[in-house]
Amino acid sequence: MKLLVCSLLMAALALAAATPDVSGTWSGSVIATGPDGQERDNGVTLVLKQAGTEITGSAGPSADHQLPVQKGKIEGDKIALEVAVGEGTFKFDLVLQGEHIKGDVNTSVRDQQLKAKVDLMRAK
């Protein structure tokens, strides 16, 4: 029985050690492609809090304008976040790459699909 408990504890510790901690403030750019095909470069700031594989916090165009993360998780280096905005939800599909978090954000508001590329760095 002691061996089983020790084995489970070691497995849990190994899993926790394998998951990087993304807690903190991340800021950078969101390059969105509008319905007209034009690209627009906007800023974004994420304030993340991680507990195990669960991520909470907020996201928005600046540190002063933030909305809560509704769902958030990290599995290995892959991060998934959902942020409700008005009638839509921004869905972030991100990857931790060294000192950057990069990936895509998609939303559907009314009948419009919006897509953007995200590149963030941890604020120091």
Q: Give the range of the structural domain holding residue 79, as residue numbers without chain letter.
A: 21-122
Using a pLDDT cut of 70, give the percent of the chain over it. Answer: 85
With respect to residue 11, please indicate whether it lies within any of the assigned structural domains. no
Distance between CA 71 and CA 101 in Å, rounded? 17
Does residue 11 surpass a pLDDT of 80?
A: no
- β-strand partners of 68: 58
In this predicted model, which residue has the larger pLDDT, 28 or 1?
28
CATH number, domain with residue 100: 2.40.128.120
* For residues 17-46, average pLDDT: 88
Does residue 86 surpass a pLDDT of 70?
A: yes
With respect to residue 15, please indicate whether it lies within any of the assigned structural domains. no
With respect to residue 12, please indicate whether it lies within any of the assigned structural domains. no
- β-strand partners of 97: 100
With respect to residue 43, please indicate whether it lies within any of the assigned structural domains. yes
The two three-digit tokens of residue 21, written as one number = 């901690």
With respect to residue 60, please indicate whether it lies within any of the assigned structural domains. yes
Does residue 2 surpass a pLDDT of 70?
A: no
The contacts of residue 73 (CB under 8 Å, 6+ apart) are 53, 54, 55, 79, 80
With respect to residue 41, please indicate whether it lies within any of the assigned structural domains. yes
pTM comes to 0.80
Number of domains, the chain: 1
pLDDT band at 119 (very low <50, low <70, confident <90, very high): very high
The two three-digit tokens of residue 79, written as one number = 């991060």
* For residues 97-103, average pLDDT: 95
Nearest partner of 35 among 121, 116, 122, 113, judged by Cα: 113
With respect to residue 59, please indicate whether it lies within any of the assigned structural domains. yes
CA contacts within 13 A on the Cβ side of 91:
8
